Amino acid sequence: MQPFFEDVAIGQELPPVTRRPKLMQMVRWAGASENLHPVHYDPEVIRASGVPDALVHGRLKAAFVTEVVTNWMGTRGTLHKLSIRLLGMDFPNQELVCRGKVIGKPETSGGPVVECEIWLENPQGEVTVRGTAIVSLPHRNGS
Amino acid sequence: MLPQALLTAEIQSSVGVELEPDVIAVEQRMMQRILKSTGDTNPRWGEEVPPAFLLTWMMSGAKMSPRLPPALNWLMSDGELEIVSPFIGLLDGGGEWEFLSPIRLGDIITSTMRITSIRETTGRMGRMLIVTWERVHTNQRGEQVAVSRGTLIGY
């Protein structure tokens, strides 16, 4: 359903996106992004790095949290800006829940602009990705 | 063991250096691979390219730039280049993307990367080099379609 600028309230939560990346999905991302660092898939390098399992790519997690906004903004919304901080490690076969909420409707922008906070929570309850997104939404009157 | 100083004069002189541009033709198979890897099934992404396209575009790939010293080439290749590096590992600190105009299938995107700052600091992993970069993405009509910025941490 298309959200309209007038109907959006500060504090409103966005529908979450849940992912449980398997190693195969991470390898797919490694190929698509040409990020072939072996700590994301090679057991020897993972052991030598002292981490318990393959690391889910930070940018893949960034793509997951971005979907919270792009799914919500509808076909007439536009993503203008995205800021992402990668705060911690995540591992395959864990449920990663991406959430978001509206934190502002900056009047200084001059347009129907909405600011959202987005983040990713792992099963331990840790927030390992946090960011913001700026989107514009259509007005209800069609402008 | 890391050398005495990570931030050598040679590395410091890389601030402001612009790397050789990357040119990518945006084609359907590439988009399908990106969407399949993220699991994004939003029907909007057909002709219009998803933001994940620019999220994938971070490192220089396994390309050695003669404009950078080996340590920075290693960082910028995500450790893929088999060259001597003072670092044990690297971390992606995140980034920022400004989407200025939609990117569509069939576009030819030229992306130019520049090192914007380098500093040395000490954290829980010991001494670290924090490198920030900026990429400007331009389409075949010369229009700036996006700007991305990121942080890499070598330790």
| pLDDT at residue number A53 | 96
Domain count, chain B: 1
**Domain membership flag for residue B113:** yes
Report the percent of chain B where pLDDT is more than 70: 91
Give the mean pLDDT of chain A: 94
Complex ipTM: 0.93
The range of the structural domain enclosing residue B16 comes to 9-154
Q: Which of B39, B94, B98 sits opposite A19 (nearest CB)?
A: B39
> In the Cβ-directed half-sphere of B41, how many Cα atoms lie within 13 Å?
4
Which residues in chain B are contacts of A19 at CB distance < 8 A?
39
**Domain membership flag for residue B41:** yes
pLDDT by residue (tens digit) across B24-80?
999 999 999 999 999 999 999 989 999 999 998 866 555 778 888 888 888 877 666
Contact B37 A33 (CB under 8 A): yes
Mean pLDDT over A20-42 rounds to 92
Residue A3 has pLDDT above 60, yes or no: yes
Going by pLDDT thresholds of 50, 70 and 90, the confidence category of residue B3 is low
Residue A50 has pLDDT above 90, yes or no: no
**Domain membership flag for residue B2:** no
Indicate which CATH number applies to the domain containing B66: 3.10.129.10
| pLDDT at residue number B71 | 83
**Domain membership flag for residue B4:** no
Domains of chain A with bracketed CATH: 5-136 (3.10.129.10)
| B95 close contact with A: CB closer than 8 A | yes
**Domain membership flag for residue B1:** no
| pLDDT at residue number A143 | 67
Question: Residue A64's closest chain B neighbor by CA?
Answer: B38
Contact B14, B68 (CB under 8 A): yes
**Domain membership flag for residue B3:** no
pLDDT by residue (tens digit) across A63-112?
999 999 999 999 999 999 999 999 999 999 999 999 999 999 987 767 89
**What is the rounded CA–CA span in Å between residue B91 and residue A113?**
33
Going by pLDDT thresholds of 50, 70 and 90, the confidence category of residue A48 is confident
**Domain membership flag for residue B49:** yes
Contact B95 A28 (CB under 8 A): no
pLDDT by residue (tens digit) across A114-128?
999 999 999 999 999
